[in-house]
Structures are given as structure tokens and as C-alpha cells.
Amino acid sequence: MQSLSVVFNCDPSAVTVLCLRVTVLLTSSLMVLGAGLRCVPVSDIEIRKKLIHGGQLLNGLAGPTVMNAAPFLSTTWFSPDERATATAIASLLNSLGSAAAFLVGPLVVPPPNGTAHLLAHSNTQHIKDRIEAMLYAEFGMVSLIFSAALAYFPSRPPFPPSVAAASQRLSYRRSFCRLLSNFRFLMIALAYAIPLGVFSGWSGVLDLILTPIHVSQVDAGWIGFWSIVGGCVVGIAMARFADFIRGMLKFILLLLLSGATLASTWFTLTCLTTVTHLPLTTATLYTSCILLGIFLNSSVPIFFELFVETVYPVPEGISCGVVTFLSNVFMGVLLFFLTFYHTEFSWFNWCLPGSCLLSLLLILCFRESYDRLYLDVVVSV
């Protein structure tokens, strides 16, 4: 309980000595407990379900810290000409786990194709054994990460790398009041949350969307894998460009969202081959899906940096946490409708270009500012 009090009473200014370390240790311990609950060998199916759901809940509680920590870490540890790159690496490496999931699932656990296979006890037992092996492997990896953080994870460098890293931040109450009353922040928050939320829900059921056009689960996994990997590479490159030429975040987002709008429209029209008569080939599906993933995934660190610059001195974790929450809300709403309209997916596909176009219009109307960068440049001079 003492650790919890340290986490929830952290001073929002700069970084206290214990706050970041305790938060990371608490987060990783929740992941260890969650992964461990899923591995408990219980023969009763109902108890096993409850343990798995409990483990997923603990893992979900740890998620916000992992998703929102990148701008906070980059401000604390890196100079102004390295921050965007550090944010990109920290936020996009988290996406590589999702990329691996697209491959690990179909490759490690074979899909039960056909009724005869489902009725075969040996095949069912084989699938069960492979699922348990994957759960044990995940528990081992999470435990290794927790051990490494426990052994060495300092909260901050000996000296702050910039003026912003050592400056005072607003309290939590004032931060939320400023965010909710800042129309410019709400604009870019929606510009981030709507397309990224729709894309997250869409990519989560990508295999179901591609099944009617005769694309296998393995091919869908490779499409998801390369879209995320490509997004990581392009995102880091764009962030490095933003570090070299400062004040270009809005321009970069306009380029990425324009590409996402075109790619999503191309994919949607390709799926309507009976209407548009566009060529429906493996190459076109791969290209349009991968380009869409590259443009949207690479926009995440650019959005994060723009959030922090717009609402500074609001703490990075609060501003990025709010937009991540909004993104999850839009994803949840979309998946909720999917439970009722799951026999036909053309409406789901049209949500993609619509959300990207709306985000593009919001960014076009957005007036950018760089309050944190201004503080670093003016005070340091």
C-alpha cells in the first residue's frame, strides 16, 4: 500500500526520485500476476475462465502506463533535439508486440479447419497444448522484464537534459481543467482518437474482414505484421526528421493522414470488386493494407509530441492518457456495433477512410504551437 501511495501522490513537476521507478515496477508486477493467473493449471473450466479473465484484467490495468510513458520518458531523459526520436522508439517498439502476435498466433497455434478436425480429440488436445505453451512463454518473458526493471531502472538522469525536464508542471486537477477547456487540444485529441481507434478495432478483426475475399488467416497475419513493422520504421524516420527540423509536426501529420485516407479508400474500393471492378489480387490487398498501417502507426509518436507541445505545462502522462482513453472508447463503440452487424463488413471498411478524412480536416484547421520547445530555446539562450 505504501508503494501505491507513492504512485498516486507523485508530484507532477519534473520527476521525483521514486515515482517513475515505482510506477514501472508496479506496472510490470501487474503484468507478471496477470500472465501467471492465465497459466494456473486448473481442470475446472469455469474456474480457468475466471482466472484467465482476471489475468487479462490485470494486464489491461498495466496497459495505460506502457502506452503513455513514451513522451514522459523522452522529456525526462533526452535533449530537445532527441525527444521526438525517443518518443517514437519507445511508443512504436510497444507495437512490435502486436506485430509478433499476428505471426505467433497462427504459427504456434494451428487453426481448427473443418468439422472433422474439431471432432478429433487428438487435434483438440494438440491445440490446447500449444496454447498453454504460448501462455507459459509469455509468462517467462514478462517475468524476465520485471526482473530487469527490479534490478536496475533509475527514475531520472543525474542532471536534467533540458529546461522543460526540470520545470514545474500543473497539478492533476488543474491539468484536467485545462485539457477539457482547451479547444485546440480537443481538436487534435479527436484527430488522433477517431482514426486510431477505428484502425485498432479494424486490425483486430482483420482476418474476419479478409475471409469473405478468400484471404487465409496466415496471410492476414503477415499483412498485419508488415503494416506494423513498416509503421515503426517510417515513424522513427519521421520523428528523426522532426528533431532535425523543428516546428514541422503539423506538416508531417498532414502528409501521413493524407496517405492513410488514400490507402484506406483504395482498400475499401478494392473489396467492393463487384461494384468498382478494381483488380482484387494479393498484391493490391497487401499493398493497401500495409500502406494504411504504415501511415497510421507512424503518426502515433508525432501526435504524442504535438499533444505535449500544445498543452504544456500539463504533465505528459495526463495529456497522452486522455487521448489514449478516447481512442479506446471509439474502438469499443465500433466493436460493440460489430456484435450486431457481423455478417457483412463493408460498413466497417468505410469507417476507415471516413475517420482518416475527418482527422485530416481537423489537423488542417488546427493552429499549432510549441510551448515546451519555446521554453527550452528561450531560457537556454
Per-residue pLDDT band for 116 (boundaries 50, 70, 90) equals very low
Query: What does the pLDDT read at residue 5?
Result: 37
Q: Residue 320 is placed in which grid cell?
A: 497522452
Mean per-residue pLDDT for 177-183? 89
Q: At 9, which helix (H) or strand (E)?
A: none
Per-residue pLDDT band for 363 (boundaries 50, 70, 90) equals very high
Per-residue pLDDT band for 154 (boundaries 50, 70, 90) equals confident
Assess whether pLDDT exceeds 60 at residue 19: yes
218: burial class by Cβ within 10 Å (0-12, 13-18, 19+)?
Answer: middle
Per-residue pLDDT tens over the stretch 27-71: 889 999 999 998 888 888 888 888 988 988 888 888 777 777 788
In three-state secondary structure terms, 133 is helix
CA terminus-to-terminus distance, the chain:
44
Assess whether pLDDT exceeds 80 at residue 350: yes
- Which residues make Cβ contacts (< 8 Å) with residue 31, sequence separation at least 6? 58, 59, 62, 142, 145, 146
Q: How far is it, in rounded angstroms, from Cα 30 to Cα 140?
A: 14
Query: What does the pLDDT read at residue 304?
Result: 92
pTM of structure: 0.80
Q: Residue 115 is placed in which grid cell?
A: 468439422
Assess whether pLDDT exceeds 80 at residue 309: yes
Per-residue pLDDT band for 244 (boundaries 50, 70, 90) equals confident
Q: Residue 1 is placed in which grid cell?
A: 500500500
Mean per-residue pLDDT for 245-257? 91
Query: What does the pLDDT read at residue 111?
Result: 63
- Which residues make Cβ contacts (< 8 Å) with residue 251, sequence separation at least 6? none
Assess whether pLDDT exceeds 50 at residue 15: no
**Single-letter amino acid code for the residue at 215:** V
- Least Cα distance to 271 among 249, 290, 289, 296 occurs for 289
Per-residue pLDDT band for 285 (boundaries 50, 70, 90) equals confident
The residue with greater pLDDT, 208 or 230, is 230
Q: How far is it, in rounded angstroms, from Cα 238 to Cα 198?
A: 23
Percent residues over pLDDT 70 in the chain: 86
Percent residues over pLDDT 90 in the chain: 18
